[in-house]
Structure 1
């Protein structure tokens, strides 16, 4: 998880150095695009669960309330729950960062890219266990958390 934090910090440092000064409208448009990326990950995960639930008679029966999910549907449901949690954190973080931090023009797309890489690693490694999926989880979580912390720091700086 520490490696993911290092990746997030380095990515933010690089994107901060690029830091195009954009209008508030342009920053919010970038945040909207980033939020759309997070929402598309959620939609893809929902679609994956739906496809698996109707892939076999056992899964169809389970979806209709006839028993527990198969292991692959249970894994897909766990990935879905985690993706929902991550999207709920990321979307407002992108929007807040865009609204509050003038130099966030390059950070927002970089954070959305980290979100996507993190989701890909989490999803593809989920079945291999907690250790295998930890980096993907941390990359997704720390990128959103960083956006929130930067926003909070900027807000506190304005109040002082």
Structure 2
């Protein structure tokens, strides 16, 4: 015969000292079920941005204007590149949706790179956050050519 008393969550009954209480809180519950975890949108944006940048064939993230402004702020002393540039997310309690603006390298198969990006983003976000990624929408904004200059500081035609 057990001395366990079923008490309502967060409550206890008087005169139960020394007896185990079961419910949704307290010493008798698993630690992972005590409390609530909230994951901010910018956390998911950074994870998705890093996962996208790791895929071969991705040159950069962001649409034209975002890349231009980002290139300027990246060059400011003490400035750091934004890991969430070109990434937008919607985060719910159990699910997330991701929208990406990317620039691919010239010569890569865009369909293959997009598939690799989806796999990388879904795997990383789900593993790190526990959220189910319901969709990853990718917009290819540009193709980077090898002879294009990224920062405008390369050699010109005339010296």
Structure that is richer in helix per residue: 1
Structure that is richer in strand per residue: 2
Compare relative contact order (CA 8 Å, sep 6+) and give the higher one, 1 or 2.
Answer: 1
Could you tell me the TM-score, scaled by structure 1's length? 0.27
